[in-house]
Amino acid sequence: MTRARRALALGIVGAALLATAPGASAAIDPGTFAVARDGQLTVSSSVLVTGRAVEMMGGWTNDSQRCDLARRLTVRIIIDRVRAGNTQRFTDSTSGMVENCAEGGPNFGFQLQATDVGMACPNGRWRPGQYTFATNTLHRARGLRAIADLFFKRTEAC
């Protein structure tokens, strides 16, 4: 196995968090991050869910490279909602040049409302069901990938 393939095989990190949807009194919204490393290159993915929205982002950093250096990232997302044996799925992807030294974490990808993906109650909150959110970030030049998965259950009725 080549070094690049070994780094990819060893570098894929899936993080999962089982959470119950936050109620009106909850102080913390569910979220997860994943990181893959190959030498000084770090590729990251994130999923952060709020009562009405989700942020699904990717990014990269390499301390041995200058901050204005840009590399192509591809961020693919999947949102699945399962309720009563039926699955509703939303997918999207974006690819673009992203600069090194992302401050504050992953910053390239999607900020979506529950209404944007057709999974909202009339008040804009997530519909009841079991959700799976996946952010898959690929650093195209090196083939390094980080995958963040979040499992989220919303039990409150619309």
Model confidence pLDDT, tens digit, residues 137-150: 999 999 999 999 99
Q: What is the CATH number of the domain that holds 124?
A: 2.60.40
Q: Which residues have C-beta within 8 Å of that of residue 90, sequence separation ≥ 6?
A: 77, 78, 79, 117, 118, 119
pLDDT at 126: 97
Question: What are residue 44's DSSP bridge partners?
Answer: 35, 59
Q: Which of 31, 47, 33, 153 is nearest to 110 (CA)?
A: 47
How many domains would you assign to the chain?
Answer: 1
pLDDT at 101: 83
Q: Which residues have C-beta within 8 Å of that of residue 140, sequence separation ≥ 6?
A: 71, 72, 73, 74, 95
Whole-structure pTM value: 0.82
Domain housing 116: 3-154
Cβ 148 vs Cβ 92: under 8 Å: no
Task: Give yes or no for residue 97 having a pLDDT over 50.
Answer: yes
| pLDDT band at 155; cut points 50, 70, 90 | very high
| pLDDT band at 28; cut points 50, 70, 90 | confident
Task: Give yes or no for residue 45 having a pLDDT over 90.
Answer: yes
